[in-house]
Amino acid sequence: MPPKIDRNMLIGELVLNYPESVEILFKYGFHCIGCGLSAYETLEQGCLAHGFDEQTLEQMIKEIKDAAKEAEKKKKKSKP
């Protein structure tokens, strides 16, 4: 079972477990995916370092969770 998506999740772990999150991160101008710190920095730390406010962080997390749920539904439908 993949880890829970929240502000304390490492960016690298988020991208590895939820590849659909990449598009959402890019939409917000959050291009830390290839950064060396992504393996050690949480989503919250990355957002703070880039000047995102609390509301933006929460909205981003919500969108990532929604995308992950949709991807899971598609995966279940495609299984025989």
Q: The domain containing residue 29 runs over which residues?
A: 11-75
**Contacts of 47-54 spanning 24+ positions with Cβ under 8 A:** 47/7, 52/28
Helix then strand count (H, E) for the chain reads: 4, 0
What's the confidence (pLDDT) of residue 80? Answer: 65
CATH number assigned to the domain comprising residue 61? 1.10.3910
Rounded CA-CA distance 14/3 in Å is: 8
* Residues 49, 67: Cα–Cα separation, whole Å: 24
**What is the total count of domains within the chain?**
1
> pLDDT tens digits, the chain, 80 residues: what are they?
678 999 999 999 999 999 999 999 999 988 766 777 677 899 999 899 889 999 999 999 999 999 999 998 888 887 66
In a domain, 58, yes or no: yes
